[in-house]
Amino acid sequence: MQRILTEIVATAILDTTAHTETRTSDHLPKFLEQFAGERRSKKGSKLLNAPEAKSSPHTLIIAGGGLRAADLTRALRKFQTKDCMVAKLFAKHIKLKEAVETVKKSRIGMGVGTPQRVIDLLEDGALKTDCLERIVIDASHIDTKKRGILDMKETQVPLVQLLTRADLKERFGTGEGKIELLFF
């Protein structure tokens, strides 16, 4: 994992050490407000405004499992409006075909999912990265077996695959359409 992080431009990784609250699901909205703030694409737009393009979120939150992703999705409901969905992008009780249909027809502000499901949606073409401004890795969550997203092979490998996708990697730390990488 360390080698992959060295491949990502250092300027893409946002320093979030100023966040002093515990990194639990109920503090994720405050974390995002502190570090994501106003979106670059439109002055004055906030996290609860989805891009005009369907299936193209401004924020992706990557969690280690479906249950954790569901918890984070619930915690982020304050950013959901009738025109801005907080999308569930994980396999727990949601078939890929259903997820593809939902993503394709929705204006999404934030997508919360597991690395493999996000990859599957990107490869299908249902999920787009055109408006993506940040990827948040839920690195502080430790499950009951004392493992986090960076510790488990079943999440670590797809996470590395996700972060090294050409369409994302080329935008890490580069000017106008850059993607920031945050670790929560």
Q: Domain for residue 15, yes or no?
A: no
For residue 175, give the CATH number of its domain.
3.40.50.300
Mean pLDDT score across all residues of the chain: 84
Q: Domain for residue 13, yes or no?
A: no
Taking residues 23-28, report their average pLDDT.
90
Q: Domain for residue 29, yes or no?
A: yes
Q: Domain for residue 18, yes or no?
A: no
Does an H or E element contain 100, and which? helix 96-105
Is 0.85 topped by the overall pTM? yes
Name the pairing type of β-strands 85-89 and 59-62.
unpaired
Q: Domain for residue 177, yes or no?
A: yes
Q: Identify the CA nearest to 184 among candidates 4, 27, 68.
A: 27
Q: Domain for residue 16, yes or no?
A: no
Contact by Cβ (8 Å): 86, 107 = no
User: Tell me, what's the pLDDT at 5?
Assistant: 55
Q: Domain for residue 64, yes or no?
A: yes
User: Tell me, what's the pLDDT at 148?
Assistant: 87
Structural domain including 143 reads 2-7+23-183
Q: How many domains does the chain have?
A: 1
User: Tell me, what's the pLDDT at 53?
Assistant: 85
Contact by Cβ (8 Å): 94, 116 = no
pLDDT per position as a tens digit, 30-57: 898 888 765 555 544 578 778 888 989 9
